[in-house]
Chains A and B, each alone.
Chain A
Amino acid sequence: MTGRKASDAGATGIPGWILVVAALGALFVLLPIVAMVTRVNWAQFGALITSQESVDALLLSLRTSLTATLACLVLGIPMAVVLARVPFRGRGLVRAIVLLPLVLPPVVGGLALLALYGRRGLLEGAIPIAFSTPAVIIAQTFVALPFLVLSLEGALRTTGERYEAVAATLGAGPSSVLFRVTLPLVAPAIVSGAILSFARALGEFGATLTFAGSLQGTTRTLPLEIYLQRETDPDAAVALSLVLIAVAIAVVAVAHGAGEPLRRRTT
């Protein structure tokens, strides 16, 4: 609702120079990608991306990133609701801790996961996940979770509690309010938060490398495959990078399209 008003006002009142800076910003992001596309060996492209290694890596990446996104939704939605709606002492501190994976270098995240889940970690290997696909998913969830919590908590605060209060006075129980009022109101934020989490999980590299290892079909996701191919076959690395970009764009576009009706309804 507020979004529509702001953009209407903006369209008439934007200073010209801001367009120039915005265009520069867009080029800053776009030009390196364009430069990479010019390096693609198109004659070999099909063969490079359909090799068994590449296909395994792509499928593993999709599988793990989707699972990690689901885990982010299951864990992250309650976290965001608590942070946005439940006032408690030390909330600022808890929020800072939740967002920690956002600022940690991924390798540090991987080391932290090892310190807990590793054979010599706190759990003394009680959950034997070393060098397995679940380790990849844990690493991806760890780094992607803050994106969902952050965007959803912001949306919950912006929406306010008026409708929830009304629903409660009309006799709806807390769970009913949550599922029929609160979450539908922030559905677009859930979608965009999930997209961000998926994108982060798809690009995850450092924590996976440190924590899960690198074995074809089990733990070697697309970013790890690209990193390895670069050693011997830069053409394959570039081709796979392009696949990664294409997947990311496709997912964002599809999810954005799915989120659009929700957005219109709530506006």
Chain B
Amino acid sequence: MKGIRMKARSRLAIAGAALAAVLLAATGCSADASAPAASPTPTKHAITGTITVFAAASLTKTFTELGREFEKTNPGSTVTFSFAGSSDLVTQLSGGAPADVFASADEKNMKKAVDAGVTSGDPVDFATNVLAIAVPPGNPAHITAWADLAKPGVKTVVCAPQVPCGAATATVETNTGVKLSPVSQESSVTDVLGKVSSGEADAGVVYVTDVKGAGKSVDSVPFPEAKDVVNTYPIVAIKQGQNATGAAAFIAYVTGPEGKKVLEAAGFGTP
């Protein structure tokens, strides 16, 4: 096929051939898995075997639930998860870690994975998340708006700008012109939540889904400026995966109605 198209000296055809070659190579020449992300429904083939999913830590609750549902719908399949920070997962994938699917908490880390050449097919966006202000129960410092975080005497904890939630926080600061003087810049959302739920901090900037997942231990103060800084979660199949059919089916499940339902219940938005 490649050879024949090469003879027709059309640029388009060459580009198409190159794409086909990449896809073939990427999926180990398995015809029905050549477009994993695009397949809308689980195929006629029975989905069996183990599907290994590397997913961002913020997806722990939702993906665990989706995995269980997926196994029920596809008897004979097993979904195993490895949850960690997206950048850790990319490092592991680049190092050859065995995975079939990768779900990132941001586009930056997905780009790193794509650039490292470990992905197969195009990433698909499946969820969005926005920031929210978390306060200790009862809101002792009476935080009602973003600008309150910058008031003197208010102990605000944020994520460090190096991690996605911190980058988003910095963007809100720029957009609103309200610079914060945080008492701590933590390495992860969980550490920010911990400082708030223990009452050490008056407020913390985290994601809507984190506040929702923390239950009664923190209260949430939504702020309108958050909607301008949307964080997008992409998902993709992994080239060195052992179960391309399973990977495609799981991605279809997450991006399909079942996935949307579970993700929305957890506070995620639709891309």
Contact = CB atoms under 8 A, between A and B. Distances in A.
Contacts of A109: none
Interface in B182-207: 182-187, 191, 194-195, 198-201
Interface in A215-267: 215-216, 219-220, 224, 227-234
B163 A215 contact: no
A215 B198 contact: no
Given A213-B157, A229-B162, A232-B162, A130 B87 contact: no
Nearest to A117: B200
A131 B184 CA distance: 7
- Residue of A213, A227, A229 with highest tally of chain B CB at under 10 A: A213
Contacts of A114: 198, 200
A228 B191 contact: no
B181 to A, nearest CB: 10
Interface in A106-149: 114, 118-120, 130-131
Given A215-B182, A216-B185, A234-B91, A210 B194 contact: yes
Given A232-B162, A232-B163, 14 more contacts: A118-B198, A118-B200, A119-B199, A120-B199, A130-B183, A210-B194, A213-B195, A214-B160, A214-B187, A215-B183, A231-B85, A231-B87, A232-B87, A234-B91
B162 A228 contact: yes
Contacts of A209: 186-187, 191
A213 B160 CA distance: 11
B155 A131 contact: yes
B187 A231 contact: yes
Interface of B: 85, 87, 91, 155, 157, 160, 162-163, 182-187, 191, 194-195, 198-201
Interface of A: 114, 118-120, 130-131, 209-210, 213-216, 219-220, 224, 227-234
Contacts of B195: 213
Contacts, number: 62
A231 B162 contact: yes
Contacts of A230: 87
B186 A213 contact: yes
Given A120-B199, A229-B162, A213 B184 contact: yes
Contacts of B160: 214, 228, 231
Contact of B183 (A131, A224, A231): A131
Contacts of A228: 160, 162-163, 187
Contacts of B155: 130-131
B238 to A, nearest CB: 21
A131 B185 contact: no
B160 to A, nearest CB: 5
A233 B198 CA distance: 31
Nearest to A115: B198
Contacts of B85: 231
Contacts of B187: 209, 214, 224, 227-228, 231
A193 B187 CA distance: 32
Nearest to B161: A232
A217 to B, nearest CB: 11
A114 B91 CA distance: 34
Contacts of A210: 191, 194
29 contacts: A114-B198, A118-B198, A118-B199, A119-B199, A130-B200, A131-B183, A131-B200, A131-B201, A209-B186, A209-B191, A213-B157, A213-B183, A213-B184, A213-B186, A213-B200, A215-B182, A215-B184, A219-B184, A220-B185, A228-B160, A228-B187, A229-B162, A231-B162, A231-B163, A231-B187, A232-B87, A232-B162, A232-B163, A233-B162
Contacts of A215: 182-185
A106 B111 CA distance: 35
A119 B155 CA distance: 12
- Residue of A114, A118, A131 with highest tally of chain B CB at under 10 A: A131
Nearest to A107: B194
- Residue of B91, B182, B187, B194 with highest tally of chain A CB at under 10 A: B187
A32 to B, nearest CB: 15
A75 to B, nearest CB: 25
Contacts of A219: 184
